Amino acid sequence: MKFRILAYLFFFVGTADLFIKIFYGNIFSDLTEDYYEIANPILVFTPVLFFSIGGIFLKESKVSLTLENFGTSRIKYYSPQFICLSVVVLIFLFFTFNAQMNMENRGIDFGFGFLTQEASFDMQFSLMDYDGQDPYWWAYVVALLNTLLVAVLGIIFCTIIGVIVGIARLSPNFLIRNSAAWYVEFFRNIPLLLQIFFWYYAALRALPLPQDASPLFGVTYLTIKGYYMPAFIWNNLNIFLYSILAAIISIIFIRYYANKLRDNEGKQIPVFYISLIILFILPALTFLAGGVSLNFEIPVLKQLSATSFIYDGGIAVPPELIALTLALSLYTATFVAECVRAGIQGISKGQKEAAASLGLTPNQVLKLVIMPQALRIIIPPTTNQYLNLTKNSSLAAAIAYPDLVLVFAGTALMQTGRAIEIVSITMLTYLSISLAIAALMNWYNKLIEIKEK
């Protein structure tokens, strides 16, 4: 009860603090100048602090007296916590105080106003329109998108390679099993940074110059300056996308109906093939009737100067992106492969035999019995690996791929000199990505966990 009252008290103070900050500015600004200067960075976060302390108390109020702390004296219960909190607060205050003093001496002030200033640097590669006149916050967004692009590409490829290698490690074939094992042992035990360097500085440098490149698959060119491939030029792209959306929705309905039919009447309908047909036919119809058409813009060799050539048109994938994606996916795939292997091995043989004795076909055994259980083991550690991949994508800075770390914590930091603000924004960005994925994972784990009575 006491905890609950304390919690509501903290919530109230936090809300009041927030309101005062929004409508009346900082209440402490009337105090002496020195104190305000020192305390300002902390005061920005006080509502958050109040709310989180309130949240902790509210949670504690629900589990206040358990067997664990039964019989512990109050002093033993409260004094270690008090000491712990005071040490944390003291360290925090010490750092803030020093930072304030140092910044004052160097004539820099704390604030996020620089985000709206003109960035005035260029980026080698970006997904969105960006040039030097754009503000820093836009550079941040563009760099973040570049990071996410590498992460998504890496996740896709590492899943494909990892699943194949993981299954190959359980193959009855001696050669396949061992080559998969050696792949894992080889790529797992070499530092990722060295692998990125190897691909970027050694392997990709051995590619031909644009003028000497021979076409790959007819229309794409793999050169030392990057990978050039045709761009799609769509007419009425939105109709096409709507048709895909409609196809997905109808597939969901069909699956729902098929499940119901199976549960109620025991009938099986080939859902997979029906879905596949719908997914092809609906978008194909838009080409015929909806006015959708697709053209290719094929890259063409262009001479810049006597010895310098480049491909014009189409999509150019820079070598940094290729090296990074290759290294990240090959490295992370080894870990994914181990997760997949552990997942499949974790299913007992009895499950398979029981399913077979019920008269299920091998395909049905895999789909209805093995996979749902194996996925339960595979997905949590694999998500962890995806998270690692996303964090490791920050190594992009080492080969000058314009990701969040290089652009924001590198160039922008150099230009503005605002170390604290920029490094904390960068860290908080990665932290929130991690925490968001972790929260999603916890939710998913709760969803698929075996419900026992």
Partner 1 sequence: MSKFTFLKSDRSNIQLVLITGTFLITISILDVFLNSFFKLNLISFLPSKVSFLTPFIIGMIGLNLIRIEYSGNKFLDVLNKNINTSNFNAALTLLIIFIIFKAIPPSLSWMILDANISGDTKEACTGTGACWTYIKVWFRRFMYGMYPNEQHWRINTAFLLVIGLGTFGLFATEKMKKFLALYYVVIYPIIAFLIIYYLISGGYFGLEWIETGAWGGLSLTFIVSFFCLIFCFPLGMILALGRRSNLPAVRYVSIGYIEFWRGVPLITVLFMSSVMFPMFLPEDFFMDKLVRVIIAITLFEGAYCAEVIRGGLQSLPRGQYDAAKSLGMGYWKMHIFVILPQALKLVIPGICNTFLALVKDTPLIFVVGLAELAGMLALAKTNPKWLGFAMEGYIFAAIIFWIICYAMSKYSYNLEEKYKTDR
Judged by the rule CB under 8 A, the positions of this chain that interact with partner 1 are 56, 59-60, 66, 68-69, 77, 80-82, 84-85, 88, 94-95, 98-99, 101-103, 105, 171-176, 179, 185-186, 188-195, 197-198, 201-203, 205-206, 391-392, 394-395, 397-398, 405, 409, 413, 419-420, 423-424, 426-427, 430-431, 434-435, 438
The contacts of residue 140 (CB under 8 Å, 6+ apart) are 115, 404, 407, 408, 412, 425
Dig out the tokens for 225 from the structure. 């300056």
CB of 162 to partner 1, least distance (A): 18
Query: Based on CB atoms, which residue is closest to partner 1, 93 or 354?
Result: 93
Query: Based on CB atoms, which residue is closest to partner 1, 179 or 351?
Result: 179
CB of 50 to partner 1, least distance (A): 15
**Distance from C-alpha of 370 to C-alpha of 353, rounded to nearest angstrom:** 11
Task: Quote the Cα angle for 249-254-256, to 5°.
Answer: 95
Kindly list the distances between the CA atom of residue 84 and the CA atoms of 50, 63, 77, 97, in Å, as whole numbers in the listed order.
Answer: 18, 21, 12, 20
Dig out the tokens for 367 from the structure. 């789909």
Dig out the tokens for 363 from the structure. 């395909």
CB of 428 to partner 1, least distance (A): 9
Query: Based on CB atoms, which residue is closest to partner 1, 247 or 395?
Result: 395
The contacts of residue 329 (CB under 8 Å, 6+ apart) are 153, 154, 156, 157, 158, 161
Asked if residue 114 lies in contact with residue 416, where contact means CB atoms within 8 angstroms, the answer is yes
CB of 96 to partner 1, least distance (A): 8
Query: Based on CB atoms, which residue is closest to partner 1, 71 or 350?
Result: 71
CB of 281 to partner 1, least distance (A): 31
Question: Rounded to the nearest 5°, which phi and psi values hold at 370?
Answer: -75, -55
Residue 195's closest CA among 352, 387, 324?
324
CB of 1 to partner 1, least distance (A): 16
Task: Quote the Cα angle for 297-300-304, to 5°.
Answer: 135
Query: Based on CB atoms, which residue is closest to partner 1, 293 or 445?
Result: 445
The contacts of residue 192 (CB under 8 Å, 6+ apart) are 327, 328, 331, 392, 395
CB of 155 to partner 1, least distance (A): 16
The contacts of residue 277 (CB under 8 Å, 6+ apart) are none
**Distance from C-alpha of 54 to C-alpha of 306, rounded to nearest angstrom:** 70
CB of 88 to partner 1, least distance (A): 6
Query: Based on CB atoms, which residue is closest to partner 1, 72 or 348?
Result: 72
Tokens 């096409």 map to which residue? Answer: 240
